[in-house]
Amino acid sequence: MAPRLEKFFAAKTFCVVGASTTEHKPGNVVAYNFVNHFPGKTYLVNPKGGQLFGEKLYTSLMEIEDEIDAACVIVPARFAPQTIEQCGMKGITNVIITTGGFSEIGEEGEILQQQINDTMKKYGINVIGPNCLGLYSPALGYDTMFLPVTKLKRPKSGPVSIFTQSGAFGAAFIDQLSNLGTGKWVSKFISYGNASDINETDSLEYVGADPDTKMILIYLEDFKKGREFMEEARKISLKKPIMGIKANRTETGAKAGASHTAALSSNDAIVDDLLDEAGIIRVITWDQLEDCVLAFGTQPLPLGDNVAIITDGGGAGVMASDMVTDCNLKLAELSPTVQKYLDETFPSFYATGNPIDVTGSATAEDYKIALEVAYNDVNVDSIVNICLPCIPDLDIDEYIKVTKHFARRKEKPFVTALIGGDEADKAAAQLLAEDIPVFPSPGRAVRALGMLTDYTKYLRKHGIDPKTILVEE
């Protein structure tokens, strides 16, 4: 059986119920999105009738003669039950309800939610929401995110699919991704809010089967169907990486969550084990999730856990090495020929072990030499390229060129940490603008490699060759 979300995304006719003529209102924004970007036929419904964006405003769903494959309902909560009833009568079986004011606000909302649930069951309607942003896919011209682009920038089409229990998290993360590098990141985005029907497991099933989804990011506060979710994840994580945040880790978080998506906290240590066992890479902070996108979205998986560190600052090398241990990685033992070559090539005060410390005397050419041999060394599985550009003889433009070259070879994961003032900011901005992964500290760069390597280890444990996983192509 095809995942239930497939019919939403495969819709050829789409209806916006509650299309608004008031600029920037949710019903206006979603109508605009579909009229302008959806390649299928868009129908708009507003009881007042008239026109919007050159399209007819139908006064009722019943007025539409065509069959409707999917609809987005953007009416006040109190009108939602009767609107869903009409959807059912019209034979629409895929409905997104973005409006809030249901189970998440307490007793009054619970009643409305129950009415929707009953109607949904009566007609066999698949429902996304309520209290959500719904669905977004730039490649499909599908966008129920009811915030105007002036408020919420849209990332362009790319390999990452995201599903999230929190719409606000999703919106802010989407906004952030649109400003990350080229902004070409998103395949499908799914915000299912209260999960009255479609939940985290349905979302995972869909993006798992979706050929355009190369990696999966999640934000969860609880599980509606924990067992099914983990079973599904176990299968999918052998084909594409799944990573994300399971918030609500603590009693305090649970208290906050209760007034939000009515989520219940579980014993977090158990959750941690289950996620791990299902091959889901768990991250704790927002920053880390962005780091995942940069690392998995641009670099290949490593074939082992041996890291080479190249640095112009000893302290930064020590901090990176500490993080190598924290992330269960190893400092690579450079091959004897590489070691010999570096000893012969570099001044005696450069450290030619690992970290290779080209010191404050480094030039861009020194970086090139060190990176070339580290990259080509069979004993090295991944590379951390650390630069504090404040040293006297480093030509930052040359360094940027060298870094681009290696980050684009994609035979091994290659991450860069740039730390300092104007020159570091400039170099980071130029590299990121071309989707070259740059991190603001040695620790974050190494941790990004750690996440890539964790996934390699997981795949190997299950007999999968990490070379078969191609996210970044």
What is the layout of strands, in order, in the sheet containing 51-52?
Answer: 51-52, 55-58, 41-45, 13-17, 70-73, 94-97, 126-128
- Nearer to a copy of itself by Cβ, of 263 and 370: the residue is 263
For CA atoms 113, 119, 121, 124, the dihedral sign is negative
Which one, 108 or 465, has the nearer CB to a copy of itself? 108
Which run of H or E residues covers position 276? Answer: helix 268-277
CA-derived radius of gyration, the chain: 25
Tell me the CA distances in angstroms from 305 to 20, 406, 436, one per residue in order. Answer: 55, 19, 21
The minimum distance between CB 132 and a copy of itself, in angstroms, equals 11
CB of 97 to a copy of itself, least distance (A): 15
Q: Which residues of 268-295 are buried (b: 16+ CB within 10 A; e: fewer)?
A: eeebeebbeebbbbbbeeeebbbbbbbb
Nearer to a copy of itself by Cβ, of 57 and 428: the residue is 428
Structure tokens at 452: 């890539």
Pairing of strands 94-97, 126-128: parallel
Specify the residue, 75 or 87, whose C-beta has the smaller distance to a copy of itself: 75
Which amino acid, 432?
L
For the CB of residue 121, give the shortest distance to a copy of itself in the complex, in Å.
Answer: 26
Q: Return the structure tokens found at 205.
A: 């099933």
Closer to a copy of itself by Cβ: residue 123 or 286: 286
Token digits of residue 187: 């395949």
- Smallest separation (angstroms) from a copy of itself to the CB of 141: 21
**Minimum CB–partner distance for residue 187 and a copy of itself (Å):** 19
Taking CA atoms, 444 is separated from 74, 276, 346, 357, 408, in Å, by 41, 21, 28, 19, 20
259: how many CB neighbours lie within 10 A of its CB? Answer: 11
Query: Of 40 and 440, which has the nearer Cβ to a copy of itself?
Result: 440
**Cβ closest to a copy of itself, residue 242 vs residue 320:** 320
The Cα–Cα gap between 203 and 19 comes to: 26
Task: Write out the two tokens for 64.
Answer: 């539409």
Is the CB of 119 or the CB of 248 nearer to a copy of itself? 248
Residues 6 or more apart whose CB falls under 8 angstroms from that of 344 comprise none
Which residue blocks in 299-387 are alpha helix, DSSP H? 314-326, 336-345, 364-376
CA–CA distances in Å: residue 458 to residues 66, 240, 340, 382: 49, 12, 35, 17
- Reported as type and span, the H/E element at residue 108 is helix 107-123
| CB-nearer residue toward a copy of itself: 58 or 146 | 146
CB 441 → a copy of itself: shortest distance, Å? 4
Residue whose CB is less far from a copy of itself, 166 or 382: 166
Minimum Å distance from CB 176 to a copy of itself? Answer: 6
Q: How far is the CB of 6 from a copy of itself (least distance, A)?
A: 26
**In angstroms, what is the minimal distance from the CB of 46 to a copy of itself?**
19
Amino acid letter for position 240 = K
For a copy of itself, give the closer residue by CB, 81 or 442: 442
> Rounded to whole angstroms, how far apart are CA atoms 291 and 396?
23
Nearer to a copy of itself, 209 or 351 (CB): 351
- In angstroms, give the least distance from the CB of 25 to a copy of itself: 8
Least distance in angstroms from the C-beta of 19 to a copy of itself: 16
Structure tokens given for 161:
């699919």
* Residue 104 CB, nearest approach to a copy of itself (Å): 8
- DSSP conformation class of 305: S
Q: Which residues face 243 on adjacent strands?
A: 217, 281
